[in-house]
Structure 1
């Protein structure tokens, strides 16, 4: 059976060519001959520097009108494949080499053992710098605190054919693909897989990008996040009320000498209560607005972003660049 490989890409053509070579060198021919590559070109400023060697059944490039970012490019690629006459197992992976081609076989094995589940790669070992790994751990802990969910995986995954159309109708994958899967309640699992190293060029993920990525993941679980923040505000207001009660009791019902700064402390407690109330009120309006507004549905609106589809090669034709 054919296996679709979706690779979002922005100016990383050199790494893509090296990845195709690595697939030919490290993946069993019986497997990689089933691969049909769909490169989602996120409006790159450059193009393929050379004609790629034929690897797998086909290689097509989905050209976008504008740059939409990594996560949205994945959503558009999945929506495009979901709109085809037939659906096949679909692998989402990066084109820079961080996702090892040999691990596709492990994703397929797990999918065969647990059919009907999306299989993610849980990163058992990372090769980024210490600072990046530190902030990534902070991000995972904040995500768990705000949403009650554990996210230990990224984009590298395998989607069974029967879930592809359903996933394309999940609006949340437009903001964050892994978070959207969690929000969709579609069945998924994760297996430990070591992260590879970039094949060429420099990573575009910096501190700002990591923060934006984290915020986009949290945003898809806005309801849960808002409730947890509101509960924290209620607890904070309750603690402030207790503080005011204790200071008032000591001042009016005991003989203890209350220091002069106690009045400032009471005033500070009132400020905390007011802020907690305003934050809770703001969260209510945000959640209500989020629930009533119309969300982007990749399955229905993906064509608005597609300029064209270039068929670079297929099993029946020689490699040509359009």
Structure 2
């Protein structure tokens, strides 16, 4: 394979995954025209990844950016996979440009695009994420989101404070499209890829139209997909936890046996139940550790989905709007 061709930054691709949010994306384009300075706006080339929507657009605002195309998928694959397919499609093109990933609902504020561009210029080669300094979701959602970040840090040892809104440098796009982990979770895939990245604090906007499809179940599934990207690290940490639990249970059994056979201390009647509980903890820790080892070995031996190689199987057509 020849080296990718990185062209001058006279163009910036914008990947927008979408499922039925045609009204919101139309308002998003109008807002981009209203708030993004012309020097940036004139460089934007939009690629809407239609995740097999059951509805279609009525009309789009014209003349926003250089071009607007729709990547039509054969089937619904979900938000994260749609992003991966959009990046893989752009990575397959002869010329490579900086690429912004943003949602279609307007919660990724168009006025922040310039800040992503400036930050990447100051940190060449780094993927730039938007760290959410302020959010507008309900208290319940924010609470569970904090729980998700805490659990992610405990299980993986990594801190994730950002979502999809980001800018990928031109020279990193094709590399990232060969990272299999972005198929499950785009931010987690970037972390796993070991490509350099940074994050800047940006306020999260409000949805422009319709209702958010993110609920408790969606948030849990999103969290599990992010953890699954770092399954090796997660499995090792869980095995270490099981070893600690088994060690603590073994110490408990040792103390009980010592008290029974080497001291005159009166042993309560429930001691046998306590010892049985310790033995059950040891057995469960062993079985969980064994299961985790097999899961990791199975994961390592299975062929990985590489978006750059297999994205065309999901693409129905590319529709150029202007």
Task: Verify same fold: TM over 0.5.
Answer: yes
Indicate the residue corresponding to 1:29 in structure 2. 38
Structure 2 Cα separation of the partners of residues 165 and 216 of structure 1: 22
Whole-Å separation in 1 of the counterparts to 2:59 and 2:70: 14
TM (norm. structure 1) is 0.97
Alignment of 1:88-99 (within 5 A): 88-99=97-108
1:319 equivalent in structure 2: none
Aligned twin of 2:167: 158
What TM-score, normalized by structure 2, do the two folds share?
Answer: 0.97
Whole-Å Cα distance in 1 between the matches of residues 119 and 65 of structure 2?
A: 22
Superposition pairs for residues 77-156 of structure 1, below 5 Å? 77-156=86-165
CA shift digits 1:247-281 (9 cap, x unpaired): 11111111111100000000000000000000000
SS for the counterpart of 1:5 is strand
Distance in 2 between the 1:43 and 1:143 partners?
30
Aligned to 1:244: 253
Aligned-residue offset at 1:51? 3.8
Aligned partner (choices 46, 66, 71) of residue 57 of structure 1: 66
**d(CA) in 1 for partners of 2:212 and 2:235?**
33
Per-residue CA distance 1:146-191 (angstroms, 9 max, x = gap)? 0000000000000000000000000000000000000000000000
- Aligned counterparts of 2:39 and 2:172: Cα–Cα separation in 1: 25
The one of 301, 305, 308 aligned to 1:292: 301
Report if aligned partners of 2:88, 2:177 keep a CA contact under 8 Å in 1: yes
Distance (whole Å) between structure 1 residues aligned to residue 179 and residue 146 of structure 2: 27
Question: Any conservation in 1 of the 2:26–2:60 contact (CA below 8 Å)?
Answer: no
- 1:175 corresponds to: 184
In the alignment, the residues of structure 1 paired with residue 59 and residue 72 of structure 2 have an alpha-carbon distance, to the nearest angstrom, of 17
Aligned to 2:200: 191
Hey, what's the Cα distance between the residues in 2 that align with 1:207 and 1:150?
Answer: 21
In angstroms, what is the RMSD of aligned CA positions? 0.5
The gaps in structure 2 that reach 5 residues or longer are: 1-9
Q: Give 2:229's aligned residue.
A: 220
User: Runs (4+) of structure 1 moved beyond 6 Å?
Assistant: none
CA drift of 1:29 comes to 1.4
Q: Which of 267, 273, 296 is the equivalent residue of 2:276? A: 267
Measure, in 1, the Cα distance between the counterparts of 2:115 and 2:38: 16
1:52 deviation in Å?
2.7
Query: How far apart are residue 127 of structure 1 and its match?
Result: 0.3
Separation (CA, whole Å) in 1 of partners of 2:59 and 2:98? 29
Give me the whole-angstrom Cα distance separating, in 2, the residues matched to 1:260 and 1:230: 33
Higher mean displacement: 22-31 or 210-219: 22-31
Q: Does the residue aligned with 2:110 lie in a helix, a strand or coil?
A: coil
Cα-to-partner distance string for 1:183-211 (whole Å, 9 max, x where unaligned): 00000000000000000000000000000
